[in-house]
C-alpha cells in the first residue's frame, strides 16, 4: 500500500506527497462514521483510483494535533513575540508556552523588533528574557530588515515540522515573507503541484523550507485551556514539573497544600513569582471553565 504525508487540505481534498509525486485524494467514507478527520501533517496510506486520484485508507497514529490551525505531527512552534509595538507581555507568552507544552510541541521564542528598544527599555525586559532561557526555552532575536534571518532559522527548521504562533502585529507575516521567497525554487514545484493560486479559500499547507516543513500560514493569535485539566497544568511549567516531584501529595495543585515543593521554591525565589501568579490565574480559568459533556 503506498504511503505519504498530507501536505495540503482544501475543499474535501487531501494532497498527499509520496516522494516526488503529489496525489489528490479523498478520505474513506467510513472515516466520518468513525470520527476520523485527516489533517495536514498526517502520515497516511492511500490507494490510487483511475489515472491520478486516490483514496486515503489509513491515517497513522499522530504524536499531536492542533485545532487552529488544523495540523498534525508538529515538532515545534516558532513563537513570535515583539519586545515593543506591541510591548513584551510575559503573561501572554506564558499562555502560549503552557498550551504548546500541553500539546508536546517544542516552543522556540523568536523575539522581534529588538532594534526599536532604548537601553532603558531593554534593561527592564532583559531579566524576563534571562529567566526564560534559564528555564530552558530556546530563544532567538531578530530585527527589521534582518539580513541573517534565513541563516538564524535554517538550523532550527531543518528536519522539523514547524508552525508560527504569536499575537497580531508582532511580525509573523514578515518572517514568513522573508523566509519563503528565499527558497522559491524549492517551493515552486510544490506550489504548482498543489495548485496554489487557483483557490481563494484560506487553508493550511506545509511547504519545504530550510530542509524542513513549515505551515505557510501566520497560524493562530490566541490560545485557551480547553484541553488542559487542572491536575495537568503544573506539568506545562517545566520548573514546576521538576519541583512537583518533591511534593508530599502526588496530585498537589500547589495552592495551599502542606509540604508543597513548588510553593517552597516560589518562596525561595527559585521559581519566579510572576510565573507562579500566571499559574494561579490559569488554574482559576480552568476551574471556571464550563463543564463539558
List the one residue out of 39, 44, 31 whose CA is nearest residue 5.
Answer: 44
Burial class (CB in 10 A: 0-12, 13-18, 19+), 223: buried
What does the longest C-alpha to C-alpha distance in the chain come to? Answer: 69
Mean pLDDT, residues 178-190: 46
Q: How many CB atoms lie within 10 A of CB 248?
A: 10
Q: Do 241 and 184 contact (CB within 8 A), yes or no?
A: no
Indicate the DSSP class of residue 62: P
The continuous run of DSSP H or E covering 139 comes out as strand 138-141
User: How many other C-beta atoms are found inside a 10 Å radius of the C-beta of residue 40?
Assistant: 26
The answer to whether the beta carbons of residues 164 and 175 sit under 8 Å apart is yes
For the domain spanning 230-288, the CATH number is: 1.10.40.50
pLDDT digits (tens, 9 = 90+) for 3-17: 999 999 988 899 999
Give the CA radius of gyration of the chain. Answer: 21
Under the banding of pLDDT at 50, 70 and 90, the label for residue 247 is: very high
Which grid cell sits at 273?
513569582
Please give the sequence-ordered ranges of beta strands (E in DSSP) within 11-99, or none if there are none: 13-18, 21-27, 43-48, 54-59, 65-66, 71-72, 76-82
Confidence of residue 183 (pLDDT cuts 50, 70, 90): very low
Instruction: Share the mean pLDDT of the chain.
Output: 84
Residues 217-228: what's their mean pLDDT?
Answer: 71
**pLDDT digits 0-9 by tens, 66-96:** 877 789 999 999 888 888 888 899 999 999 9
CATH superfamily assigned to domain 71-215: P-loop containing nucleotide triphosphate hydrolases (3.40.50.300)
CA nearest 74: which of 216, 207, 213? 213
Q: Which residue stretches of the chain are H helix?
A: 29-33, 90-102, 119-135, 149-157, 172-179, 184-194, 238-243, 261-268, 273-288
Q: How far apart are CA 150 and CA 58, in angstroms?
A: 36
Banded pLDDT at 207 (limits 50, 70, 90): confident
Residue 169 sits at φ, ψ, to 5 deg, of 85, 5
What's the pTM value of the predicted model, to 2 decimals? 0.84
d(CA 163, CA 76): 7
Distance from the Cα of residue 272 to its chain's centroid? 24
Q: What confidence category does residue 41 fall into, taking pLDDT thresholds of 50, 70 and 90?
A: very high
Percent of the chain scoring above 90 in pLDDT: 52
Domain limits of the chain? 3-61, 71-215, 230-288
Architecture of domain 3-61: Beta Barrel (2.40)
Over residues 99-157, the pLDDT tens digits come to 999 999 999 999 888 888 889 999 999 999 999 999 999 999 887 666 677 788 889 99
**Does the pLDDT value for residue 251 go beyond 70?**
yes
Amino acid at each position: 500500500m503506498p504511503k505519504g504525508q498530507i501536505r495540503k487540505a482544501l475543499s474535501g481534498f487531501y494532497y498527499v506527497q509520496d516522494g516526488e509525486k503529489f496525489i489528490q485524494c479523498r478520505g474513506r467514507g467510513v472515516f466520518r462514521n468513525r470520527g476520523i478527520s485527516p489533517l495536514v501533517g498526517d502520515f497516511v496510506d492511500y490507494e490510487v483510483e483511475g489515472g491520478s486520484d486516490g483514496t486515503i485508507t489509513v491515517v497513522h497514529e499522530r504524536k499531536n494535533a492542533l485545532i487552529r490551525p488544523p495540523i498534525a505531527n508538529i515538532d515545534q512552534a516558532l513563537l513570535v513575540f515583539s519586545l515593543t509595538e506591541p510591548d513584551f507581555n510575559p503573561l501572554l507568552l506564558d499562555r502560549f508556552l503552557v498550551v504548546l507544552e500541553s500539546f508536546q510541541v517544542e516552543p522556540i521564542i523568536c523575539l522581534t523588533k529588538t532594534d526599536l528598544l532604548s537601553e532603558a527599555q531593554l534593561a527592564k525586559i532583559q531579566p524576563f528574557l534571562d529567566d526564560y532561557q534559564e528555564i530552558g526555552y530556546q530563544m532567538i532575536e531578530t530585527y527589521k530588515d534582518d539580513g541573517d534571518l534565513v541563516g538564524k532559522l535554517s538550523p532550527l527548521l531543518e528536519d522539523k515540522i514547524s508552525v508560527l504562533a504569536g499575537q497580531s502585529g508582532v511580525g509573523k507575516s514578515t518572517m514568513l515573507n522573508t523566509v519563503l521567497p528565499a527558497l522559491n525554487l524549492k517551493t515552486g514545484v510544490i506550489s504548482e503541484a498543489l495548485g496554489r493560486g487557483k483557490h481563494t479559500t484560506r487553508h493550511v499547507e506545509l511547504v519545504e523550507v530550510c530542509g524542513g516543513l513549515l505551515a505557510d500560514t501566520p497560524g493562530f493569535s490566541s490560545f485557551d485551556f480547553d484541553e488542559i485539566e487542572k491536575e495537568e497544568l503544573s506539568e506545562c511549567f517545566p520548573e514546576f514539573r521538576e519541583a512537583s516531584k518533591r511534593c508530599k501529595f502526588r496530585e498537589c495543585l500547589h495552592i495551599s497544600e502542606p509540604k508543597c515543593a513548588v510553593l517552597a521554591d516560589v518562596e525561595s525565589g527559585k521559581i519566579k513569582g510572576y510565573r507562579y501568579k500566571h499559574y494561579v490565574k490559569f488554574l482559576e480559568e480552568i476551574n471556571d471553565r464550563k463543564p463539558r459533556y
